[in-house]
Amino acid sequence: GQVIGVRVNPGVGSGGFSASTTGFSKTNVGGPSSSFGIWHELVTDGPVIEMVEKYGLVVERIHTHIGSGSDPAIWQQVASKSLSFCQIWDTVTACNLGGGYKVGRNPGEPTTDLQEIGAPVTQVFEDFAQETGRKLRLEIEPGTYLVANAGALVCTVQDKVVTTGEGGHTFLKLDAGMTDVLRPSLYGAIHPITILPGSGKSDDVGTDSESVVVVGHCCESGDFMTPLPGEPESLGERELRTAAIGDICVMDGSGAYCSGMSTKNYNSFPEAPEVLVGGDGQPHVIRTRQSLEQIYQNEEKVNGLW
């Protein structure tokens, strides 16, 4: 029969921007508030087993993924529950626990300790093998963990706007934004930001700082790069080096869920180029800037309308 894997929602999640394991969070992909996977009760006591038998399917993999949290207790709980699904079909050879290993992008922000979460997970796999005589292959998806801090958005301060009175701010307006890094607008992610002199000279760095709101270049009120921590719908001010128009802005922690999740071509902004710095320190362009023609090349003229 057809070989398949079954993605299961184990009933709990762990999102990096929410402490709840069952409530809604944009980075929580498990639990009753998530649409990802087949609800666990439908796997253990529902139509899934019947469908597998009816169509002669061969289940070789169980897959769960709970979000971007890093609570070791939740990981152990989900690992144990995932293995219980593996017991349903003796054809299962692999258990995929997904990814979501939290990465600390900012000072003081914790990063998942793989040893801490790995030890109890290893134990439940060993217990499963001893109880069933089946040694499963553990699969994980550590993409963000590996590359999140390997990339940065490099852009320019193209304007500086000041509003006064109650609720006034100083805004740094960039020549980049949600078209390049969507995470702050989408779910209030916090990225480290550094302002460097446009001259490129370290002697011009200076020591003066100011409290600013950093915003993108789109005609979109949600295009801001400094949401208030814990309040993704609110503007957050960041204490940064005093900037001038033409200075460089570097947003670190942009190696994952940034280029691939960008809203490129919104407001007709082109896809940004990408540069890879080799081990020898030399830069290499690995994606060129998109041209205007490439933005609209798939549009078709309809005869008779204009």
Active-site residue set: 219
| Cα 45 off chain centre by | 33
Residues in the chain: 306
Within 13 Å and on the Cβ side, how many CA atoms surround 106?
11
Please give the Cα distance from 227 to 184 (Å, whole number). 6
Do 283 and 276 meet the contact criterion of CB atoms below 8 Å apart? Answer: yes
Q: How many CB atoms lie within 10 A of CB 14?
A: 27
Q: 14: which 2 tokens?
A: 């762990």
Do 157 and 172 meet the contact criterion of CB atoms below 8 Å apart? Answer: yes
Do 24 and 187 meet the contact criterion of CB atoms below 8 Å apart? Answer: no
Any idea what DSSP says for residue 272? P
- SS3 for 136-202, per residue? CEEECCCHHHHHHHHCCEEEEEEEEEECCCCCCCEEEEECCCCCCCCHHHHHCCCCCEEEECCCCCH
Residue 49 burial (CB < 10 Å; 0-12/13-18/19+)? middle
Any idea what DSSP says for residue 271? P
Please give the Cα distance from 37 to 34 (Å, whole number). 8
